[in-house]
Structure formats: structure tokens, C-alpha cells
Amino acid sequence: MGAVNFGYGISAARGMDLDRNDLGPAREIADEVPEFRACIACGGCTATCTAGNLTSFNFRMVHTLVRRGEYAGAYREMNKCMLCGKCRLVCPRGINTRGVVMQIKRKLGDY
Amino acid sequence: MDGLTFYSGFVVPFIVGTSVLFAVIVYKYVRWFARLPRRDKLSVRRGMFSGATVAAAWECLMESLLHRRIWRVNPALGYMHTSFALGWFLLIAVGWIETVAYLGGRFVPLQGHIFFKYFTTELQHGPRWGVNFEAVMDLLLLYVLSGVALALFKRLRSRAMGMRRTTQLRMGDRVAMASLWFIFPMRLLAESFTSGIHGSGGFLTGGLGGVLATVVPAGVMPIAELGAWWGYSIALGVFFVSMPFSRYMHIFTEIPLIFLRRWGVRGEVGREKSFDHFQLEACSRCGICIDPCQMQRDGGMTGVQSVYFIRDRRYNRLSRRMADSCMACGRCEAKCPVGLELDTLRVGSRYTLNNTPSNDRWAYARGGNGRSDIAGASLPSETAQVGYFAGCMTLLSPRILRAMESVFAAAGEDVWWADREGGVCCGRPMKLAGEVDAARDMMKLNEELFRRHGITTLVTSCPICLRVFREDYSLRGIEVLHHSEYFQRLVAGGRISLKAGSERLTYHDPCELGRGCGIYDEPREVLRAVGELAEPSETREEALCCGSSIAGNAIGGVAQTLMGRAVGRAFEATGASCVVTACPLCKKALARGTELPVLDLAEVVERHLMTAADSK
Amino acid sequence: MSSKRIVVIGGGPAGMQAALSLAAGGLKPVIVERAGELGGKLKEWHRLFPSMTEANEVLTRLTGEIAEAGVEVMLHTEVEGIALGEGGAHDGAPNGVVLAEGKKLPAGAVIVASGFDIFDARQKEEYGYHVYDNVFTTVDIERMLNGDKVALSDGTAPRRIAFVHCVGSRDEKVNQRHCSKVCCITAVKQAMELRERFPEAEIYSFYMDIRMFGPGYEELYQQAQQESHINFIRGRVSEASPTIDGRIQIKAEDTLVGRPLKMSVDMVVLAVGMKAAAGNEKLAASCDGLSLAPSGFLAPRDMFTGCVSSGAAGVFYAGTATAPKTIGECIAEGAMAAQRAAEYLKSGAKR
């Protein structure tokens, strides 16, 4: 069923194994942008996303996966972001979303 | 003829120091200049034989010697810098004249000029050419010493100098600074000993010499004299060797910087270049950029201001956090006494640290594959000559959009809405983040979009978009206007009329619109037509940033809120009943910072549109 | 006699109950109310969650008892601050309130039941309140229900309705960090009421978290899903924009599916939150010991045994002056504050 988008790198068959995932890089990102931990997954960022209007890009899902230690594809996905900053304006938790994008790209660029 | 020799063992440190200084400076300048792009070299060649050179020489006099701009910001700091620069310069220049006055055209080696007093004790003292050189030189020395005293005081009590913070030092700076402070007191001591022994000297050195001669046993005087001259020479030597590796490099570097700038050489926004070296090393680390920084003043973010950034970049210790911690609001740049392009330098470093290949990453925006096309504007018009690009942020501000609609309708303008259903970002946020290549590709998408629609005028409500359209886009044949300029034209051209009101309004200059694009008057003209305008204490070129600048990628929500509140208070102090701005991002930020209503200029125009009913 | 008098600031449910409890205990309460009649915001409400009791029923019961007990009521009267000085129940403690023009109303104790402000939805500009015709708040809907005229601006019936939760609550962007507690259940209740009126309409509810904290609330939520066919979508609406045919397009992410979502609706209802009353700051500044929480609400002495006490002797709190609360909770606090005030006066009289 092509219409269902399971995000990136995570197929329906594969669950997350938090015993195995290395949360180090996620922690480093959160240290740079502390509000990163404050997300309540409201999806406002994804709803307003300029890039998400044109392509399948889901900032909320990508960074949530990063917080769980699922890094595969995160860099490629974050490169879809135009950094316009609308998400930062709608975020009810005041998260520096653009900072999160840049940190994920810099920290996870090798994945 | 007079048996004068100009050599003594103590001159060695001075000679070595001078040689090292000269070699390093020449090496640096030649290397930096050689690496300038061809375009800049051509520009230098053209400028060299023009009035620009005269203007540069004049600027060197006013700034490198007199430090006029520092005086304007902080007189105490200005006095300190001038006393060192002008005082020392005059000591050298007048010293030179003194040598000539006493010795005529005879060749005197460098150390002969510098240690003139020591080598010329056998000369007849007294005025030459009707000038009492000894008194003049003493006066100059006293002038410099007063600056040294002030500098010491500043180190101890920066607040007393009207500066909330002063800069931190590096090792090279410490050595250079300590030796610099020793130079003039040592010179005073050395000349005083010599004067004391020979009964010469002006009111200062002669006077002190006389005192020394009475307290110091006669047998010790010559040893003390030689020791003092050694000390003076060592201080000079150490200072000269450490100078190119310290902030004192600015003393010389400001001169080539001024000339190059006058000849049309500039930094490149979004890239580091060789010219940056001249800017980095022309920074005296005076710290004037610290106080205007709102991140420091209101946001609680210290240690990241331009002076620290320049220091770290110069010594290759730049961290990403340092490069990213700046709003690029331009407030410090406006105050920099050396006129450094601080925002350009910062964004250039972001390029170095953050840029990655674009890799056609915006292919998705180009349509095809059944996905949306960025040409998907909701009001396509075949005839429209005017395009309106709201900008991403404006799309979150429906009151601005509605106001624009009303104004366009009132003016009878046929408008093509370029991004009503969303579009591609203008690219400036990406560029300011340092991802210049990807930004460039993004810009191309919009350029194509605008060209395809055959518009001749492009209006935008967002100063961020405006600036990038003007600075980076190639939109030949399309005039780009901010809505404030557009409104002002509509009013001036009689296409819309505004009802006058009595409301007291205050206006916030968005950074990208004011300092960024130089647009200060158009919005004010429109506002004066509809109400009374009350300016905040810091306005126009000195206007505050809303705190939410698009360049602030490393600035957290808390700092943004704190800065927003501080700006809000500044507007509340004007007694205005309403804050007006002309940027959707500023509008959102200010609304968080004050209880006063915050409107965009477009909303104000809409409210005051004269309708047919009004004009009856 | 002034030492037996107790000033109750505010004539909403909490204030009325406080006054009634004081009167029942033989004390002399006086209600100082800014508006022209008692009732506070309850006057504007139609029915109360979760029992769908008529708001008017609660209101008239309270106002009737007030009249019966002969409680003194000062209407159209603003309180400027707490009065300080000698002559209260305890030496040096607050001894009344200051009214407009510096007039003093002496009392042995003060109960602050001054309530809350409704969040001004225009501050969330992206939702288009007062920009688009058919964006309403939950307060507007109650008013419409009261007037029995729930309709779009052109008088027609909505075919598609979207409720937006957390407008002016849990939102750093409007300096409203707190949860307003009652808006979730209010939006669920209203969605069900609209379902009754518009059996054919599609009704959606966009939420971040559904907080059903009270007895019967969860049941109501389930009833809304199952029987009233309200579609709950977990995602915050980011913005509303006009469509060419005059409807409103809203955007959100359906976070449970992980995809952005757009939909056109006829009516948007913003579930507005409770904002700390604008007057709290002035009141707190008027008396040592009174302080504000970071949310702007008055801070009680503690959250437990001192939940109706302030830091100042003789000043007590009841209702939404200290935090968002339900009407039932406000009434309970009114009674509790009255009891604490009475104890306070008694301890002073003994001395």
C-alpha cells in the first residue's frame, strides 16, 4: 500500500530495540539544544512545514526517531528542510527547531 | 665630527624586535593581498590613483591616530586609544624632527632616533629652531603615560569606563600588553636617569632626573641608567615580537584595511576570504561591540559577542557554537569603531563550518511526479505586472495577508500571489545558517518562478526575503519592493489615500529592513500620515532587534523571550498605544514581549484606507 | 463591627459560596463585584460538564441563597488593592480593601475570589479569530447556545466543524505555559451539543493530549467518540487560511499516522484557555506576602493544607484566582476559604 508512509528507515516489520540503540549522539544534540527534550509531539511543526508542503518530510517524526537512537536516514531527511523557521514560530514548547535541524545534520551527517 | 656613536649593547633587543615585527608584517600583508581574488585586485588598481586614496589617508588620520569613532561611542576609551596612538606617533615623529634639528641631515640609524637621549648627552642642550624639544617630548611622554594609567584603570574597573564588560585576554595579548605598559614608564625612567646624570632633560625627565640624582648614590646612577635603558629596549623588543601575534596587530592593520576598503574591497557574505584577515587583525578588541549586543544585555548569553568570535576565528579556535551564536542583527557592526563587517565575518565562518554540497536536494520542489509544483499560486494571473511574495512567516500572519489584499484592491492592482499556497523559502535563512550552496539552489527555484510569470515588480512583506532578493537574486527587469516602499509609493502617487488619525504609534525597525536594506523613512512616512509617531530611545540605525532573528540558530527560546520582553519595555516607555513593525517575524516576537497591540504596517494602512464613503 | 466583616472580592461561584458559608457561620460578608450583577463567567455559560446541568440552575441557586441570606453586595465596584494598617483582627495585618479613589472598606479578613480572564484568541493570529468570519471560541459557542442561535455568520448550518484544543494553554508562544484544565472537557461537551443540533455535520476535534481528570469525564469522552461520532485527531492545528469558496482550511499533522493533514471546514471552534486575571499583579503588589506564580495566577501558601491561604495573614484565596479550576472546585474552595477566614477572626478575638 503505497499511500502509507512509515517515515524513513523503519519498516512495519522492524521495531525499535532500545537495548541496542546508542543514545549518545541524541544526548549530544540535546545538550546543544536543551529544549529538544521538551517536545510533546503535537505535530504543529510538521503541519506548517514549508518543505513538508512539497514533499514527504516530517520533522516531528525524524527528530523523535533521533531521540530514540534511530539515526539511519536522519541526515538525508533533515536535508529536505529549508530552515524557513515557521516551525519555530508555531512550536508551543518554544523549541529551537532550526537549531535541532542543524545539530542533527552536523552530528549525524556520517550515518 | 662630533664623535657620536649610536651603538650600545642594550639596543639589541630593540633591533631584533623591530626586525621580527617588520618581517612578520610584510609576510602577512603580502600573503593576504596575494590571495585576494582578481576582481579585488583590479578594484585596487583602479582605486589607487583616485580620490579614494586621499580619502583613505584622511580616514587613517582620523581613525588610526585620532580614533574619532571611539570617541563618539565612549570618550574615556577614545582618550585612551588616542593617547597611545597619537601620542606614540608624535613621540616618533617629533623625535625624528628633533634628531634632524640637532644633527642636521646626517644619517642616524633607527636606534639612534629611538634612544636619542642616551646617545646625545654630549650635545649642547637647549632649544633648536626656536623649539624646546626636550619640553615637547616630555609633554608627549606625559600624554602617553596618562593613557597607560587609564588603561591600567580600565583593566581593574571596566565599569568605570562606561563599559559593562571588557574583553578576555589570550597569552600573546598578555605578553604584549604587559610589555606595552612597561615601555613608557621605562622610557621615563631611562631618560630621567640620563638627565639626572647630565643635568639635562625637560620638565618631566629633567625634574625626575634631579630627584633621582639626590636619592640615588652617585656611584649607582650610571648602572641604574644602563639598567633602565636595557629595560626600555627589552620592553620594546618584547612588544614588537609579540605584537603580530596579539591584538596589538590592529595598530598597523587598520591602515591597509582602510585603504583596501576605500578601494572597494569587501568581505563576501556567505564565504570566508583573504580580505577577512585584514578585518580580523584590525580588531583592537576594544569591546565596544559587547554592550550593544542584546544577547549579552538581555538574553543572558555572554562570551559569544563579535569580539570573542573574531578572537577565536583569528586564532583558529572557532567553535560551531560560537559561529552560530549571533542574530546578525547588525547592532554591533553599526557601533564598531574600525567598521568591521562583523555579520559578514560570522556568516562566512558558518559557511566554513556548516556548508554541505547541495546535491540537488530541492529536486522535490520542482514539481513533476505528481507532487505539487511551486508554481501553484492560488491566484494566477496572465496580466499581472505585480507579484506578491508573502514569505513563509507572513503566511502565519493572516491579518497581514488580509491587509495586503485590501490595499491591492484599493489601489486597483492586478496581483499575482506567488506563494499563497506555500512555496519555496527565499533561501536567506539557509544562507545565514552557512549552507550557502543549498541556499543558492533554492534561490534559483524562486528566480525561475518570478521570471516565468513575467512580472515587473515584486512586492514582499518580509524584510528577510526582501534582502535576499536584492542582494543575491538576479532579477533583472523586476523591481523588488518591500511593502512599506510600495505603500509609500501608492500614497505619493495618489493611488490610495489614508485617513489621518490621532493615535500615538511607535515603530520597530526590523534589522533586515533598517540596517539590512537601509529602509527607515518609507514606513515612518506612511505612519506619520495616519497618526503621531513616538520613537523609542534606540531607533533607526541603533534600533533593537526583536530577539527572534532568523540568523539565531543557537539561541534558545528562553533567551529569545527575555530579549523580546526587553524590547517590549522599550516600546511601552514611549507611551504609544500601539507598536507597529514591518516584518512578520518581528511582529510575532514583539507580541510575546509586550501587552501593547502589535501591528504590521500593512494592517495600519488597511485600517486607514480612505474609502469612497470617507471621501464624500 | 468592621473586624467581623469579611470582604469577598468577586461575585462568581467561589465568591458567592464563600459569602454564603461566612453568613451561615454568623459572620458578615460583603461581596465586592466589578460587574453589574453576580455570577461571574457562569452567567455566560449554557450547560455544565459533565452532567449537562443548566448553568443557570447553579447560578440561580447561588444567587437565590445570597439574596435569602441577605448578604451585602456592592456591584460596579472595583478593588484597587488590600488595605494595610491598624485595626484588623490582628495587629498590623491587612484590614480591608481599597476601592476606587482610595476609599477604604475595612474588614477583619479578605477572601480573594477574583477569578480569571479568558485568553484572547486574537493573540493566536494564525488561527484567524476576528480575521475569518467563522472562527469562534468556546465562549462564543456557549453564548450562541444560550441564545439558541448556533450558526455560521451567514445564518446557515455548518456541515463540517473543527474544534481546536489548547488555544492559549500550554503554549510558550503566548506566554501561557500552564494547562487550563477545563477546556478539553468543555470542547468535548460542546462537540456533543453541536452534534445534537447538527446531526448531519462532521465534527472533528484536534488535540495535543486529552485531559479527562474528573469524575464522569472519561465516560463523556468515550460517549463523544462512540455515540456522538466526534472524530478525534491527535495533532495541533498550526494555522487556518481562507479557501476560495469562503471556507476555512486548517492544517495539522495527524501525529498518530505521521502525516500532515489539510481540511476545509465551515466552522472552527477555538477551545480558549484560562489566563491569569490582569488585576492579579496590582493586587499582589498592594500587600506584603501576596505573590504571583510564574503563570501570573496568585500563588497560594502551599498546594495542600494552605491551598486557600496567602502569605499574608487575613487574606485568603478561593477559585480561579490561583489556578484554572472547575466550577465545583471553585465552590468547594469558597467554602474552605470561608472556614479559614472564620478561624482567623476567632483566633484574633481570643487574644
**ipTM (interface predicted TM):** 0.92
pLDDT at B460: 98
C-alpha span between C145 and B172 (Å, rounded): 77
A51 touches chain C (CB under 8 A): no
Are A46 and C260 inside 8 Å of each other by CB?
Answer: yes
Own/partner long-range contacts of B144-148 (Cβ < 8 Å, ≥24 apart): B144/B83, B144/B84, B144/B87, B144/B88, B144/B91, B144/B184, B145/B184, B145/B185, B145/B188, B146/B83, B147/B79, B147/B80, B147/B81, B147/B82, B147/B83, B147/B84, B147/B87, B148/B84, B148/B181, B148/B184, B148/B185
What are the pLDDT digits (tens) for C212-223?
A: 999 999 999 999
CB A21 within 8 A of CB A70: yes
Q: Which residues of B touch A48 (CB under 8 A)?
A: 396
3-class SS of residue A46? helix
Superfamily designation of domain C118-274:
FAD/NAD(P)-binding domain (3.50.50.60)
DSSP, collapsed to helix, strand or coil, labels residue B461 as coil
* Spatial CB neighbours of B311, under 8 Å, sequence gap ≥ 6: B167, B170, B247, B283, B285
pLDDT digits (tens, 9 = 90+) for B94-138: 988 988 888 887 888 888 888 988 888 877 777 778 888 888 999
Is the bond preceding B13 in cis, omega lying within 30 degrees of 0? no
C36 vs B269, which has greater pLDDT? C36
**Model confidence at B330: pLDDT above 80:** yes
**What percent of chain C has pLDDT above 90?**
91
In chain B, which residues touch A (CB < 8 A)?
320-321, 324, 354, 356, 359, 361, 364-365, 371-372, 374, 392-393, 395-396, 421-425, 427, 429-430, 433, 435, 438, 442, 550, 553-558, 560-561, 585, 588
- Nearest Cβ partner for B398 among C175, C241, C244: C241
- Cα–Cα distance between B248 and B254 in angstroms, integer? 10
Q: Which of B327, B349, B425 to mutate to test the interface with A (most CBs of A within 10 A)?
A: B425
C174, closest residue in chain A (CA to CA): A92
Residue type, B63: E
What Å distances lie between residue C13 and A36, A48, B36, C10, CA to CA?
41, 41, 77, 9
Interface mutation target, options C131, C134, C243, chain B, most CBs of B under 10 Å? C131
Q: In chain C, pLDDT over 70 holds for what percent of residues?
A: 96
Tell me whether residues C126 and B397 touch, CB distance under 8 A.
yes
User: C236 and A92: CB-CB below 8 Å?
Assistant: yes
The pLDDT tens digits for A89-107 are: 999 999 999 999 999 999 9
Q: Does C123 touch chain B (CB under 8 A)?
A: yes
Whether chain C has a CB inside 8 Å of the CB on B553: the answer is no
* Domains C2-115+277-350 and C118-274 fall in the same CATH topology: yes
Buried b (16+ CB within 10 A) or exposed e, C161-171: bbbbbbbbbbb
DSSP string, C26-91: T-EEEEE-SSSSS-GGGGG--EETTTTEEHHHHHHHHHHHHHHHT-EEE-S--EEEE--SSSSSST
- Three-state SS at C10: coil
Task: State residue B382's pLDDT score.
Answer: 65
**Residues A35-87: pLDDT tens digits?**
999 999 999 999 999 999 999 999 999 999 999 999 999 999 999 999 999 99
What mean pLDDT is reported for chain C? 94
CB atoms closer than 10 angstroms to residue C85: 12
Beta-carbon separation of A94 and B560 below 8 A: yes
Q: Which of A4, A40, A46 to mutate to test the interface with C (most CBs of C within 10 A)?
A: A46
Residue B353 in contact with partner chain C when CB distance is under 8 A: no
Residue B293 Cα, gap to closest chain C Cα (Å): 23
How far apart are alpha carbons B448 and B200 in whole angstroms? 80
Contact: B398, C132; criterion CB under 8 Å: yes
In chain C, where are the structural domains located?
Answer: 2-115+277-350, 118-274
Mutate to test the interface with A, among C165, C236, C262 (most CBs of A within 10 A): C236
Contacts of B425 in chain A (CB under 8 A): 50, 82-84
Q: How confident is the model at residue B369 (pLDDT cuts 50, 70, 90)?
A: very low
Quick check: C351 contacting A, CB < 8 Å?
A: no
* Range 83-142 of C in CB contact (< 8 A) with A: 126
Per-residue pLDDT tens over the stretch B439-470: 999 999 999 889 888 899 999 999 999 999 99
C239 touches chain B (CB under 8 A): yes
Residue pair C93/C87 in contact (Cβ under 8 Å)? The answer is no
CATH superfamily of C2-115+277-350: FAD/NAD(P)-binding domain (3.50.50.60)
Residues C247 and C53: their CA atoms lie apart, in Å, by 33
Q: Which pLDDT belongs to residue C87? A: 57
**CATH numbers and ranges of domains, chain B:** 11-29+60-161+176-245 (no CATH), 273-354 (no CATH), 371-489 (3.40.50), 495-615 (3.40.50.1860)
Q: Does B591 touch chain C (CB under 8 A)?
A: yes
Distance from CA of C268 to the nearest CA of A (A): 17
User: Rounded to 5 degrees, what are φ and ψ at B246?
Assistant: -130, 180
Between B122-126, C112-116, C235-239, the lowest mean confidence (pLDDT) is in B122-126
Distance (Å, whole) CA C28 – CA C261: 58
pLDDT above 60 for B423: yes
The whole-angstrom distance between B459's CA and the closest CA on chain C is 21
Scanning C174-213 for CB atoms below 8 A from B yields 174-175
A93 touches chain C (CB under 8 A): yes
Question: Is residue B498 pLDDT above 50, yes or no?
Answer: yes
The CA distance from B376 to B387, in Å, is 14
In angstroms, rounded to a whole number, what is the distance separating the alpha carbons of residues B314 and B190?
36
Does A80 contact C at CB distance below 8 Å? no
Q: Give how far C223 is from chain A: nearest CA, Å.
A: 24
Could you tell me if A47 lies within 8 Å of chain C, comparing CB atoms? yes
Q: What is the pLDDT of residues C60-82, one digit of tens each?
A: 999 999 999 999 999 999 999 99
The confidence score (pLDDT) of residue B284 equals: 87
Mean pLDDT of C253-261: 96
The whole-number average pLDDT for the span B6-33 is 94
Domain ranges of chain A: 24-107
Taking one residue from A and the other from C, the number of pairs with CB-CB distance under 8 angstroms is 73
In chain C, what are the helix, strand and coil shares in percent, each to the nearest 5?
30, 25, 40
Section C6-24 average pLDDT: 97
Chain A residues near residue C204 by CB distance under 8 angstroms: none
Contact: B399, C131; criterion CB under 8 Å: yes
Looking at residues C291-309, what average pLDDT do you find?
Answer: 96
Q: Which of A43-57, B172-186, C117-131 has the lowest mean pLDDT?
A: B172-186
B1 contacts B221 by C-beta, under 8 angstroms: no
Instruction: Give the pLDDT of residue C3.
Output: 52
Q: Whole-prediction pTM value? A: 0.90
* Residue B72's pLDDT band (cuts 50, 70, 90): confident
Q: What is the pLDDT of residue B378?
A: 41
Q: Considering CB atoms only, which of A48, A58, A93 is closest to C238?
A: A48
Q: Do C244 and B378 touch (CB under 8 A)?
A: yes
d(CA B122, CA B143): 27
Interface test with A, best of C253, C256, C257, C261 (most A CBs within 10 A): C253
Residue of chain A whose Cα is closest to the Cα of B350: A102
How close, in Å, is residue A48 to chain C by CA atoms? 6
Query: How many CB atoms are closer than 10 A to CB C26?
Result: 8
State whether C173 and B588 contact (CB < 8 Å).
yes
Cβ contacts from B onto C, under 8 A? 30
Among candidates C234, C245, C250, C235, which has minimal Cα distance to C161?
Answer: C250
And the C-alpha cell for B514? Answer: 533598517
pLDDT band per the 50, 70, 90 thresholds, residue C351: very low
Compare CB distances from C172 to B396, B402, B557 and report the shortest one's residue. B557
A48·C209 Cβ contact <8 A: no
pLDDT, average across residues A5-29: 76
State whether the Cα torsion B570-B574-B575-B577 is positive or negative.
negative
Task: Please return the burial class of B49, using the count of CB atoms within 10 Å of its CB with bins 0-12, 13-18 and 19+.
Answer: exposed
Q: Which residues of A touch C173 (CB under 8 A)?
A: 89-92, 94
Please name the amino acid found at residue B210.
G
Q: Does B424 contact A50 at a Cβ distance shorter than 8 Å? A: yes
**A23 contacts chain B (CB < 8 A):** no
Question: What would the mean pLDDT of B497-523 be, rounded to a whole number?
Answer: 96
Q: How far is the alpha carbon of A24 from chain C, nearest alpha carbon, in Å?
A: 25
Q: How far is CA B216 from CA B196, B208, B223, B224, B229, in A?
A: 10, 12, 11, 9, 17
How close is the nearest chain B Cα to the Cα of C132, in Å? 9
